[in-house]
Amino acid sequence: MSNASRASGSADSSDVIVGIDLGTTNSLVALCDAAGPRVLLDERDRALVPSVVRYDADERGAVMATVVGNEAMLPAPEGVASSVTVSSVKRLIGRSLSDARSDLPYLSYHVVPGERDTARVRITPGATASPEEVSALVLSKLKGIAESRLGRAVRRAVITVPAYFDDAQRQATRTAGRLAGLDVVRIVPEPTAAALAYGIGLTRDAQRNRREVSHVVVYDLGGGTFDVSVLRLTPADAAGETDFYQVLATAGDTHLGGDDIDQALARAFGMRLWGGGDGPSAKAEPFAIAGFDREEVAAVVREARRVKHALSEHERAEFRLPEGEEGGGSDGRGWELNRAEFDALITPLVERTLRSCEQAIRDARGKGLPEGPVAEVIDAVILVGGSTRIPLVRERVGGFFGKQLYTAIDPDQAVALGASVQAAILAGTTKGSLLLDVIPLSLGLETVGGAVAKLIVRNSPVPARASEMFSTSVDNQTSIRLTVYQGEREMAADCRKLGELHVRGIPPMPAGLPQLEVTFLVDANGVLNVGAVERRSGKRATMQVVPNHGLTSDEVDRIERESLTHAREDMTRHRIADLISHAMLDVSAISRTLDRVQTLLEPAYAASLREQVAAVRGLVEAAKRDWRSVDPNAFQQAKEALDRASMRLHEVAIAESLQAQLGGGSVRKEPPDSGRSSA
């Protein structure tokens, strides 16, 4: 590290407040600075730290090492006499043993009574640890990640907890933070953090008097738990200090999540492969197969999870056991599963979550959520938790609420990012940069040739909407990729890529015929929704992104300055790019028609047209190699001359088609001399 950065880093180390999502399955740490919120990655660039601690003991039963996170899931190394792996300790934190009793069957380690009906984890044959102590190890790991990423000490944190955590559970979480050397400046409900990650309700000064109370649903399907909350947001008024979030209602199931899907898949696979497995047994019993030991069962469940993740991306995936296991390797005993089969398997589970949504809405009505259709009284629905990546979940939840869901932010990361936003607000550092009244940089789409067509220009007030028609440049394109950019320069390469979407399944059509309508919508919270629909086939695609995440106001200023410096050159380049794509369309259409009606044309006309086509094609090739080598005016004139010269060709072609239709025959099958009459 350079001296300069160290000097500036240590000077204000007390300012840093990180946001931490201390999850049942996974935990993360995030920081919000001038560029907005971001997750801090570990030394191998991983965002998620599994909330798992492995205690390794020597022969005498003394703990010789504690390992946290991804490494804790690996078997203990040589020399370790015994080890205990502790996961999901969040299920125990701050609860009495009597309260937690129903959770014990889900835990893979022993829980023993401590003082005053507390629960303790057996970590070696002779020693126990409190849930706070176990959580503190996870928090220390996160603190260490933050410190090595930031190159400075981190002492303060905002930590999130489920909305339904009671006072004892919140206190115990604070204690865990203290044990990890962290001053917990605030405990924030997870759904509130998710809303903050999207900037929902961060009041803009200009809007203070305009904004009204809003209601937000947060649907959180994680590894082992599901909960749905209805939040009410009361924006700060002119006199008020901060916006006010209130959890109106929460519902859910503390034993419903991705793990259940893994188990169900493993069980289905077991039945398929071994004719029954253990049958669909009670949910609390982990999947088991007669004659298989724990390791082998664990391998089946791991494979189930891999298949599940693959099916979020792909239409089908193959279930295969690792080399060496029965049914694995190359003996061909795999099982291909498609999306529809997977959906059928998890439908009951997804429906249970929808019943909880109904319940939460009902409860919220009693607390002042207005009557009326859900889609109207709920302003936003946010998806959180890794399991909301499953397409069926998105489809059903979207259907239930009748709304476009907020999915732009990685569902694993939303809670941690929101915690960091809360932290930044408390630190008083960055609130200003998180808010926007106007769109700071233009938003657009890459067009053929690499130019950007801007749909929404900078400084448009939010919310903003724009739509435009596009088409294809190549014949028989059955899928169209749209790439979304942000910036002021004319060429995509000089702008910031925000994401892409693919419209697939378009029937083959000549270039230029598909009618692709693309709509950009930036809502009041600054979330950009891009929708594309091909009108002839009805095929559509959508994507969502938060354009301002990762963008500082200094960068916005720099981008604006650069665009002025490059304005003239950029304009020429954009013009050339457009000329290339239009000329290419002309050249291919004219050549095709020429081939078809050649015999109907005066030979001299046909020859001169071919010459002009060749000239324009030459300009296209030259401009593609180096846009500076072509004079845009000369290029445009050549293209226009070709367009004029080809008018006669098009007339002949139309007449010929009409003739062919009257004759009932198909154009291409006509013998070369039969069209003479139309000439």
Binding positions for ligand ADP, rule: CB under 6 A: 23-26, 222-225, 257-259, 305, 308-309, 312, 385-387, 389-390, 412
Nearer to ligand ADP, 387 or 588 (CB): 387
Q: Which of ligand ADP, Mg ion, none does residue 339 bind (CB under 5 to 8 Å by kind)?
A: none
CB of 387 to ligand ADP, least distance (A): 4
Q: Which of Mg ion, ligand ADP, none does residue 192 bind (CB under 5 to 8 Å by kind)?
A: none
Q: Which of ligand ADP, Mg ion, none does residue 223 bind (CB under 5 to 8 Å by kind)?
A: ligand ADP
**Which member of 42, 56, 132, 190 is catalytic?**
190
**Which among 541, 375, 547, 524 has a CA at the least distance from the CA of 458?**
547
Nearer to Mg ion, 218 or 653 (CB): 218
Q: What is the C-alpha separation between 498 and 483, in angstroms, rounded? A: 8
CA–centroid distance for 427 within its chain: 28
**Which member of 42, 56, 90, 656 is catalytic?**
90
Helix intervals (H) in 198-293:
258-274
**Which member of 133, 147, 220, 534 is catalytic?**
220
Q: Which of ligand ADP, Mg ion, none does residue 259 bind (CB under 5 to 8 Å by kind)?
A: ligand ADP
Nearer to Mg ion, 222 or 444 (CB): 222
Q: What is the C-alpha separation between 398 and 590, in angstroms, rounded? A: 47
CB of 627 to ligand ADP, least distance (A): 41
CB of 131 to ligand ADP, least distance (A): 15
Q: Is residue 42 among the annotated active site residues?
A: no
Nearer to ligand ADP, 52 or 530 (CB): 52
Nearer to Mg ion, 225 or 430 (CB): 225
Cα 149 to Cα 154, 184, 349, distances in angstroms: 11, 20, 39
CB of 95 to Mg ion, least distance (A): 18
**Cα Rg, the chain, nearest whole Å:** 31
Q: Which of ligand ADP, Mg ion, none does residue 189 bind (CB under 5 to 8 Å by kind)?
A: none
545 forms bridges with which residues in the sheet?
528
DSSP helix/strand/coil, 15: helix
**Token representation of residue 544:** 């969502």
Cα 588 to Cα 73, 375, 458, 647, distances in angstroms: 59, 49, 36, 15
Q: Are 417 and 424 in contact (CB under 8 A)?
A: no
Q: Are 19 and 418 in contact (CB under 8 A)?
A: yes
Q: What is the C-alpha separation between 610 and 623, in angstroms, rounded? A: 20
Q: Is residue 295 among the annotated active site residues?
A: no
Nearer to ligand ADP, 270 or 386 (CB): 386
Residues engaged in binding Mg ion (CB under 5 A):
23, 222
Identity at 471, one-letter amino acid code: S
Q: Which of ligand ADP, Mg ion, none does residue 163 bind (CB under 5 to 8 Å by kind)?
A: none
CA–centroid distance for 43 within its chain: 23
| E strand spans, 6-109 | 17-22, 26-33, 36-39, 49-50, 52-57, 63-68, 82-87
**Any idea which residue has 């028989």 for tokens?**
476
CB of 282 to ligand ADP, least distance (A): 20
CB of 261 to ligand ADP, least distance (A): 7
φ, ψ (nearest 5 deg) of residue 20:
-125, 130
Nearer to ligand ADP, 309 or 624 (CB): 309
Q: Is residue 90 among the annotated active site residues?
A: yes
Q: Is residue 58 among the annotated active site residues?
A: no
Active site residues: 21, 90, 190, 220
